[in-house]
């Protein structure tokens, strides 16, 4: 007869992973619950690999993404410069037309 192992829900495996991450011993957890220490160790290793892949994917940018980021930063810098120039010009024109008293802090 073929021996089949029970299928444990993902939430249960995640809880076991969190207990191991918090410092619980694998053999103690295996005694308290059904999965073997080896199964728990496999779950922990798989979760570590999966999370490392997700973190690495989030941290690395492709060459195209790096170029776009550089372009967007340059564009933001240019737009801020233009905004500052326009706000100073508006303040200057407002003072010339008398809309704002000259003692006011327009810029």
Give the range of the structural domain holding residue 41, as residue numbers without chain letter. 10-59
Query: Percent of the chain, pLDDT > 70?
Result: 80
Q: Looking at the predicted structure, is the pLDDT value of residue 62 above 80?
A: yes
* Number of domains, the chain: 1
Q: Which residue has the higher pLDDT, 18 or 55?
A: 18
- pTM value? 0.45
Return the pLDDT at 39. 86
38 domain residue, yes or no: yes
Q: Of the candidates 80, 79, 102, 81, which has an alpha carbon nearest to the alpha carbon of residue 92?
A: 102
Return the pLDDT at 3. 62
For range 53-82, the mean pLDDT: 85
Query: Sign of dihedral through CA atoms 60, 62, 65, 66?
Result: positive
Q: Looking at the predicted structure, is the pLDDT value of residue 78 above 80?
A: yes
Return the pLDDT at 85. 94
80 domain residue, yes or no: no
89 domain residue, yes or no: no
4 domain residue, yes or no: no
Q: How distant, in Å, are the alpha carbons of 2, 56, 82, 83, 86 from that of 75?
A: 65, 28, 11, 12, 16
27 domain residue, yes or no: yes
100 domain residue, yes or no: no
Q: Looking at the predicted structure, is the pLDDT value of residue 26 above 60?
A: yes
């Amino acid at each position: 007869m073929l021996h089949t192992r029970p299928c444990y829900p993902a939430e249960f495996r995640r809880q076991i992973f969190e207990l191991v991450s918090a410092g619980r011993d694998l053999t103690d957890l295996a005694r308290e619950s059904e999965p073997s220490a080896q199964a728990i160790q496999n779950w922990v290793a798989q979760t570590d690999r999966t999370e490392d892949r997700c973190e690495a994917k989030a941290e690395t940018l492709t060459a195209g993404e790096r170029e776009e980021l550089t372009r967007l930063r340059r564009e933001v810098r240019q737009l801020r410069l233009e905004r500052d120039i326009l706000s100073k010009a508006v303040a200057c024109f407002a003072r010339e037309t008398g809309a704002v008293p000259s003692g006011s802090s327009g810029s």
